[in-house]
Chains A and B, each alone.
Chain A
């Protein structure tokens, strides 16, 4: 497969001219349905109208005041099934490319050096945020805009969480993120990296260490495994490990390892697509995406599926992995697969796969990446022993305030909702910030 030189950076977005031309297709709806389609309350109806009427600064202000990660959402959002799905222009031609307009406006604000957000005088409240992914950053920015002194504790050596260590650079690159991060820092948010809060009860102890409230947004850094008992096999890794290593200074090591090799990725979600496409771009000879259902049942976005197909990934649908073949050097050699067929539709509408007896076969692979689900880290509940979690170790909250079972501790993002979208994490951060402000106001009374 062809090596892609542009692994490290995203494709260019719209130019301002393109964005303006696209905005001209907008029907400027009376009751803009696009503005009801965003989990984080983005209002494209308003920012596109502002752009159309040459109020470009106002358009950018509309985006940024609502969403501190407007750029990330513009790049990463599956807009085709959110705001753009609601677009009235669809009936005339095709939906307005809202996400691309949004990204363009955010980049334009950087080009022009616009500073549209500012933090008021400090109100004296200190809040700790654990995790600097989209939920943590969103919450921190919202709190800073309300006058809180916010400190983010980040376990990794760089901030960003899943948008830094969980997506390949060609989807969302470091330069772009650095700009978004700068805006958050300029609000006075302090980010401490290499600062894991992972001691026994350490997250809860933050409340005794001067922080009036804590927001837990630690994300999902564990991985579901086909054979949890199989460990330390050379060439067998989880999607979490694989994607993080691509962004963690090991890109060249991985490139050497992948180049010319056969890679099998197990899974059918967006993460599996990212892993497969990355392997293809890094020069694997063959990349197989192994999925037990069929093409249309894949949870990955349609556009991602097409992109992966076009990058040369072989879609091995209707195949269920059952075991790994590991040699005596504890190196992976192959996956054992069994063919499946789709049973009749069950209650939830998705047809379930059933294995076809006698169809077992072996797919040779030098590297196998399991992308079958992110999980909460196994011992994560030890960090906050009094916070109520469910059987999957997901934190239980009140969804309208993000309050947990422990007073003063709030939580949001993937560690609460399971694997979700960036835009959903952003909304959790906003909800939590509101919840925290109410909580702090209540404490003062």
Chain B
């Protein structure tokens, strides 16, 4: 237990945050009334809902979200067609002033999105003038259809550079570029943002997806007056994608910018994974949509205890700690082989291991129908560990490394009597190939 309060503060682009946990720009950061509640709960800062310059009136589609459930597990993902703020710019800026006055130790990151250089500059300046500590450039809203806006910018490198440069010229506060995952490689657009002067990268925005199709109306959800659309997916379902992009950015020495990680964070463990892959701060929306602002209490306590147990003094000491061992798959030592190991004293006899080993593994299990227990044929075990994924008793099935002399049996051929019918020539050496 962390008996002494642990210092969770982080320095991010020269700005001090009480802890690495921020609200991301979304419905959870729509107004000062909401953000004040979040600050009271313990969040250290907010990426305020993306400002609108009042040039066009924003109307939200109705309804605007749809859950992605897994069995009775709610909200393993979330689909949304949320727009930028539908409030007048003046109201949002008044909210900035209120928050800075009442919560001077909390950080306001003003998320902005423009359609032209002038609009980007206008919003940036207005934000800085009214207390924003940082800016986040929304290059990634996933359901914009107009070229030169939202994720369309995030997919057009020269626009990223141009708009970032414009903003940087207009303000002196640090600037984050928020990137879309709806591309194959985030490093390139991130480098353009750096080229434009960005101080940090925030990722990921939501992943374009479809969460559900109505079976009666054959229409994707959310259904807005009879129409569905591909739009942003978030929540635990996209965490692996978010972690991957953060790791990509963090591994890129040429980029070398601080990162604000986001995508599917609900617990301190999720947050820590983002931190270990190189994020200095993390941002949350879907977790709050599911559980409310209170989840930050568990994030603060969980991370504090983790650090206390390991004598980690500062969050900064954890940032990127998983990167050295994160390599391309060709770095694996294939001579190191192992098998699944079963602690049958704890087995309840459901036999799910048997089913998955037969149907997706190495057929390495036998079943004793009297005792209702599996028996491992060790030299058939592929060490795929799928059995351990479905076993209802945590830790019953573990990985056991085998000595280097150990040999796995080859997968048997069932139809050897058909050898005479086999039509196969040995593969020829191809020019330029290694074989």
Chain A residues with CB under 8 Å of chain B are 17, 20-21, 24, 27-31, 33, 52, 88-89, 91-92
Task: Give residues of chain B (334-391) contacting chain A, Cβ–Cβ below 8 Å.
Answer: 348-352, 354-355, 367, 369, 372
Name the distance in Å between A168's Cβ and chain B's nearest Cβ.
33
Tell me, in angstroms, the Cα distance from A17 to B72 when the chains sit together: 7
Tell me, in angstroms, the Cα distance from A396 to B349 when the chains sit together: 41
CB neighbours (8 Å) of A89 from chain B are: 348, 392
Tell me, in angstroms, the Cα distance from A242 to B71 when the chains sit together: 46
CB neighbours (8 Å) of A92 from chain B are: 348, 392-393
Tell me, in angstroms, the Cα distance from A21 to B72 when the chains sit together: 6
Tell me, in angstroms, the Cα distance from A31 to B368 when the chains sit together: 11
Query: CB distance A88 to B350 under 8 Å?
Result: yes
Nearest CB in chain A to that of B349: its residue: A88
Nearest CB in chain A to that of B391: its residue: A27
Q: 9 tightest A-B contacts by CB?
A: A30-B351, A27-B350, A91-B348, A21-B72, A29-B350, A88-B350, A20-B72, A88-B348, A30-B354
Query: CB distance B349 to A29 under 8 Å?
Result: yes
Tell me, in angstroms, the Cα distance from A17 to B352 when the chains sit together: 24
Query: CB distance A28 to B369 under 8 Å?
Result: no
Query: CB distance A28 to B72 under 8 Å?
Result: no
Name the distance in Å between B108's Cβ and chain A's nearest Cβ.
41
22 A-B pairs with C-beta separation under 8 A: A17-B72, A20-B72, A24-B71, A27-B350, A27-B352, A28-B350, A29-B350, A29-B352, A30-B350, A30-B351, A30-B352, A30-B354, A31-B369, A33-B372, A52-B71, A88-B348, A88-B349, A88-B350, A89-B392, A91-B348, A91-B349, A92-B392
Name the distance in Å between B46's Cβ and chain A's nearest Cβ.
35
Tell me, in angstroms, the Cα distance from A31 to B372 when the chains sit together: 8
Tell me, in angstroms, the Cα distance from A148 to B393 when the chains sit together: 50
Nearest CB in chain B to that of A19: its residue: B72
Nearest CB in chain A to that of B348: its residue: A91
A27-B348, A29-B351 provided; 6 other pairs, C-beta below 8 A?
A: A21-B71, A28-B352, A30-B355, A31-B351, A31-B372, A88-B349
Chain B residues with CB under 8 Å of chain A are 71-73, 348-352, 354-355, 367, 369, 372, 392-393
Query: CB distance A30 to B348 under 8 Å?
Result: no
CB neighbours (8 Å) of B393 from chain A are: 92
CB neighbours (8 Å) of B349 from chain A are: 29, 88, 91
CB neighbours (8 Å) of A29 from chain B are: 349-352
Tell me, in angstroms, the Cα distance from A27 to B72 when the chains sit together: 15
Name the distance in Å between B159's Cβ and chain A's nearest Cβ.
44
Name the distance in Å between B342's Cβ and chain A's nearest Cβ.
15
Name the distance in Å between B386's Cβ and chain A's nearest Cβ.
14
CB neighbours (8 Å) of A21 from chain B are: 71-72
Tell me, in angstroms, the Cα distance from A348 to B71 when the chains sit together: 48
CB neighbours (8 Å) of B348 from chain A are: 27, 88-89, 91-92
Tell me, in angstroms, the Cα distance from A421 to B341 when the chains sit together: 45
Tell me, in angstroms, the Cα distance from A30 to B71 when the chains sit together: 21
Name the distance in Å between A385's Cβ and chain B's nearest Cβ.
49
Q: Tell me what chain B mostly uses at the interface: helix, strand, loop, or mixed.
A: loop
Tell me, in angstroms, the Cα distance from A24 to B392 when the chains sit together: 12
Tell me, in angstroms, the Cα distance from A20 to B71 when the chains sit together: 7
Name the distance in Å between B68's Cβ and chain A's nearest Cβ.
14
CB neighbours (8 Å) of A27 from chain B are: 348, 350, 352, 392
CB neighbours (8 Å) of B392 from chain A are: 27, 89, 92
Choose among A20, A30, A88, A92 the residue with the greatest number of B CB atoms under 10 Å from its CB: A30
Name the distance in Å between B348's Cβ and chain A's nearest Cβ.
4
Nearest CB in chain A to that of B367: its residue: A30
Tell me, in angstroms, the Cα distance from A129 to B351 when the chains sit together: 44
CB neighbours (8 Å) of B71 from chain A are: 20-21, 24, 52
CB neighbours (8 Å) of B73 from chain A are: 24
CB neighbours (8 Å) of B355 from chain A are: 30
Name the distance in Å between B240's Cβ and chain A's nearest Cβ.
23
Tell me, in angstroms, the Cα distance from A28 to B73 when the chains sit together: 18
Name the distance in Å between A45's Cβ and chain B's nearest Cβ.
11
Nearest CB in chain B to that of A33: its residue: B372
Name the distance in Å between B388's Cβ and chain A's nearest Cβ.
15
Tell me, in angstroms, the Cα distance from A21 to B73 when the chains sit together: 8
Choose among B350, B351, B355, B392 the residue with the greatest number of A CB atoms under 10 Å from its CB: B350
Name the distance in Å between A328's Cβ and chain B's nearest Cβ.
66
CB neighbours (8 Å) of B72 from chain A are: 17, 20-21, 24
Name the distance in Å between A421's Cβ and chain B's nearest Cβ.
26
Nearest CB in chain A to that of B358: its residue: A30
CB neighbours (8 Å) of B367 from chain A are: 30-31
Tell me, in angstroms, the Cα distance from A17 to B73 when the chains sit together: 11
Name the distance in Å between B232's Cβ and chain A's nearest Cβ.
26
Nearest CB in chain A to that of B70: its residue: A24
CB neighbours (8 Å) of A52 from chain B are: 71
CB neighbours (8 Å) of B369 from chain A are: 31
Tell me, in angstroms, the Cα distance from A52 to B72 when the chains sit together: 10
CB neighbours (8 Å) of A31 from chain B are: 351, 367, 369, 372
Nearest CB in chain A to that of B353: its residue: A30
Nearest CB in chain A to that of B351: its residue: A30
Name the distance in Å between A23's Cβ and chain B's nearest Cβ.
8
Name the distance in Å between B62's Cβ and chain A's nearest Cβ.
26
Tell me, in angstroms, the Cα distance from A365 to B290 when the chains sit together: 59
